[in-house]
Structures are given as C-alpha cells and as structure tokens.
Copies of this chain bind each other. A is one copy, B any other.
C-alpha cells in the first residue's frame, strides 16, 4: 500500500450552510474506488431508511474516480448518485464532459450535498475552497443562460458547470444533471434531487497538477491505446453513437419502435447521423482528454432552430425520440434533445414517456381532451416536441408524464399500465430485450431499474474477436442472443460486475481499454498493485451494496421483472416470432441471484458480504 492514492470529500450542508472537507484514507479509496462505489458506500452509510427522495434528508453525491483528471482518454467522466425519485431505490448515473476533471483539479474527489437551501443557491468550488452562492437570479433559467451568467459573474469562461434546468427545478422525476450544457448524468432523476435541494448548479475551477505514480508506464499504455483506437473506432470519430447502424438495428429488431410494440422501422435510415450529416450540420466534440471525439454537435436552422451549444443526440436519444415515437425526422430528434439539455431532462425517459402517451392516445386511453388538442399519434414530430416542452414545464399531460410512465399509468388507469415500458419505475433504454435476451435479464436485476450502462449486451459476446477479448473474463465460447441458460447468466454476472467497476473508475465503454489495460492504468496512476481480480471484486462489491440498498428500501425479487409486452413477439420484422419465455427469464434471474452468492429471494448473504470485505453492510439486511 505504498505510493498511495487518497481522496478528499467536500461535504456541503445546504440547510446549515456549512462546508467541510474530509480526507479519505487509501484503503477506503481502494476498496470503493470512486464513482458508483463511493455512491453505494455513502448512500448505505448515511441515508436514513425510507426517506422521501425529494426531501432534504436525501443526499446528492458527485464522485470522480482515481483516473479522473489525468490526461487519459476515456476518463473524462464523473458519477452522480442519490436515492432515486424515479425508482425509490439506488440512483446513480455517469456523465462525460469536463466537469469531473475540473473538480479533481480543484482538489476534490467527491462532493456530498445534504439538506436543502432556503432559497436557490449554487456552489462555487475553486482550487480547494468552496462557497454557497445565491442563485435566485438563475432559477427558472435554461441551462445555457444559467451557465453564461455564472461564468460571467465568476469572471472566468473556463468555469465548468454541472446544473439543472427548469425540468430539475420542477422536480420532473427523471430530470437529469447537465455538465457543460451537453453531457447528462441522465438516469434516475438525480436532477430532481438537485432541484429539491434548491441547488441550481455546481461551478468548478481548478489548477492542481495531479501526480502520476508511473509516468512512463502510463505513456506506453496511452500510445498502445492510440494505435488501436484509430483503427477500431473510426465510426465514432465521424458521427458518434448511432452512426451507420440505425438501419441494421431496425432490421435485426433491436431498434425500439413505437413504444417497443413494432418490429422494424422503415424510417431508420433517415435517423442515421452518418447519412443525415449535412442536414444537421454534424461536427464532433470530445470529453476531457479524449481523442475519440464521439460527442455530436448539431446546428439546425429550420423547421426548428437547434443551438449547437447543447451538443447533439446520442443513439439512445435518437431511438427514444425517433423510432420509439414512430418518428423518422432526425431534425425533430435533435430539437427534442436540445430541449432536454436546456431543461435537464433525461432523453430516454422523456422519449419513452412520450411513446407511452402516444400508444395510450392511439388506443383511446388518452384523448384530445387529455392532450389539450395535440394529436399525439406515433410519428407526429411536432406533437413530440410540444410534449417535451410540456413535460419540462409540467403543463397539462406533461405534468403527468413528468412522473415517469409507472406513476403516469397509475394515474391514467384504463389499462395504461400495459404500455408503461419500465423496470422498477425506470423507462427502458433503446435496446430490445427480445433480441438481446441476456440484456433483458440485466434490465430486471439492475439496481437502478432498466438501464444499459451497467449491463451486458448480448451482441458484444458473439464474434470471434469479441470472444478473444472477453476471454480475459473466462468467457471462452460465443452464445446465441436468445440463450438464457447458465452460460449466458454467467456472462451477465461477470460483465455487470465489470461495468459497475467501470462506473466506479469512471472509464468510458467506447474505448479500447479492457480487462487487462485497465488494471495496468490504475496501477500506473495510483501505484496500487492491483489486478483484474481485485477490480472485478470491487465491481461485485458495488453491485451487491446497491442491491442491499434496494432491499433496505423495501424492494424484493418481485420488482425484478420485465413488462408483459416482452413476452409477446413483435407485430412484424425479425422478431415476429421471438419473445422472452417467462419461465426461462424467471430461471435466469434465479441463477443470477445464486451466481452472485445471494439467496433465492435475491438477498445477499452475510458470508458474501464478508467475502467482499464489507461485513458492515450486513447490518442493513
């Protein structure tokens, strides 16, 4: 334990207007790593059981990882966590951009925000110091305006801002937190938690030089990376996520279409950013220290004006506002995405909520009266954009949809729940579980509800090249996508633990860093003599702690389940005869529990917690 990496936490009590700094020892940092690991630790350790996520008793945690702030491609991310107002359980999301690196340069690894400010405030963190500043004048402002004012009043255009827009202020249950106007800590409604605390923004500036333990080793790794990256990731350089794959996704059945109802989508090509490049004036941007530059920036003049300040849509946003709403207009998608970034709304949950409303509308469950006359049919781009604005403002139907599809369906009644595509209250992202059935199991057991960021994607394990890579995890054979047997569950178990580790290290998935590179990079940066074994166990530790948090909050295995829709085939297309078999799903979930060392009820055992070196967590069982 030499050459130790340690950490600093900035603790801000908004109620008492008190700021303090805590030092984290090296063993703590190594055991929980950062990011999602810190979130899991502090939520379990410090939150009272059963609190309202939108009450002052919730805590909002911003956390970086040990690699954050170094000039290492793929590490320009940070994590945000809290008890989720969308699911009532473990809430955590990661976000790219520059903010996390800036926080590290300002001398902090994490921030814990407690209580609630009397009036709107923002936090100003500057080279080891922090202060709570009035934000009354910023409240109600869209993100772009607020950032402009903050940078102006702090007199520094390089101040980095993580903030909420009006959606977060109005406690939309899936409001996100926006970094640098274009990067979202998207899922779980963390922006609503920020809003509930009257915290408009966290502005950060730092100049601290970070020390690398072994510069030469790190240099070699980054060189290796560049050699691979330019060959392997050409598509990402040019048009980011979604580029060049939309039609293929539609044909394979992976592209969610009309609220996950239909099989294929003839408008997929028109949604492809690699084909529509000129229509949307596509250019590319990058996160801190990253050479991949996969972040889209779009600029459109008409029929909707889309401001390039707010970046452009990722694949998830294209799917959610495009095919999932039956819309084949990439410009409309770009506008919806821009509105989400202005207002701090999660694009997946927003799009899926609108798709849900469209299906309700087409089935007569919602009428023109409910929509204030908006013709909310699948494919109506203008209506979709209007709905985004209504959700941000909580106007009319928007106020209901702002609660997420689970609560909206409970309110709407009339059988609307069969159109509510969620797990644990969180809307399902843009990967079809009937195609990627291992992912389907992953949706059910993910502690944050349906999500694609801590999960397996069956397609990633079927090519010879992929198997060669994943063999480092002991995955030696390809499997069919609709396989739900023990070998598939084994992959899910290992891989979701790895992803939770990645969400603690804050390593981007779109890079050629893998199971062998990452321990080497962590070693080079921190001086820890770490291995893939140790790091995989950190991932398993985090997965398990998040599970314990949910159990403590009253979740049981009953919430680990998919919407009924997925037990029927698509209406057409490649999956017209493919569905998930409920018995197989049930069995796969049970195998997952047991492979994780949990009981058949999905409850981690005390011995498993001891084996993971976190016996203290067993007090919460």
Contacts and interface: CB of A to CB of B under 8 A. Distances in A.
Interface of A: 1-2, 27, 30-31, 464, 467-469, 471-474, 476-477, 486-487, 489-490, 493-494, 515-516, 519, 523, 528-534, 536-538, 591, 594-595, 597, 605, 607-608, 610-611, 613, 615
Q: Counting chain B CB atoms within 10 Å of each CB, which of A474, A489, A530 scores highest?
A: A474
A595 B613 contact: no
A537 B611 CA distance: 15
Given A476-B30, A529-B516, A531-B532, A605 B613 contact: no
A532 B529 contact: no
Nearest to A594: B607
Contact of A529 (B2, B468, B537): B468
Nearest to A523: B516
A529 B469 contact: yes
A523 B594 CA distance: 31
Contacts of A1: 464, 467-468, 471, 476
Given A1-B464, A531-B473, A532-B532, A591 B607 contact: yes
A519 B607 CA distance: 28
Nearest to A520: B516
Interface of A is mostly: helix
A533 B467 CA distance: 16
Contact of A30 (B471, B486, B487): B471
A578 B532 CA distance: 38
Nearest to A516: B531
Given A473-B533, A489-B610, 12 more contacts: A1-B464, A1-B467, A2-B468, A471-B528, A474-B533, A474-B537, A490-B611, A494-B533, A516-B519, A516-B523, A516-B529, A595-B611
Nearest to A465: B2
Q: Which of A2, A469, A471 has the most CB of B within 10 A?
A: A471
9 contacts: A1-B464, A2-B468, A30-B476, A472-B531, A474-B537, A486-B607, A487-B613, A591-B610, A594-B605
Contacts of A610: 486-487, 489-490, 591, 595
Contacts of A473: 531, 533-534
A485 to B, nearest CB: 9
B534 A472 contact: yes
Contacts of A469: 529
Contacts of A533: 472-474, 494, 515, 531-533, 536
Contacts of A597: 597
Contacts of A591: 607, 610
Contacts of A536: 533
Nearest to A30: B476
Contacts of A515: 531, 533
A476 B32 CA distance: 12
A537 B536 CA distance: 12
A473 B532 CA distance: 9
A477 to B, nearest CB: 7
A223 B611 CA distance: 36
Nearest to A490: B611
B27 A476 contact: yes
A467 to B, nearest CB: 6
Nearest to A26: B476
Contacts of A486: 607, 610-611, 615
A424 to B, nearest CB: 24
A469 B2 CA distance: 10
A494 B530 CA distance: 15
Nearest to A474: B534
A607 B487 CA distance: 11
A530 B472 CA distance: 4
Contacts of A490: 610-611, 613
A543 to B, nearest CB: 14
Most B CB atoms within 10 A — which of A27, A493, A515, A607? A607
A396 B533 CA distance: 53
A573 B462 CA distance: 62
Contacts of A523: 516
Nearest to A31: B476
A519 B2 CA distance: 23
A611 B534 contact: no
Q: Which 4 A-B pairs have the closest CB atoms?
A: A486-B610, A594-B607, A531-B532, A474-B534
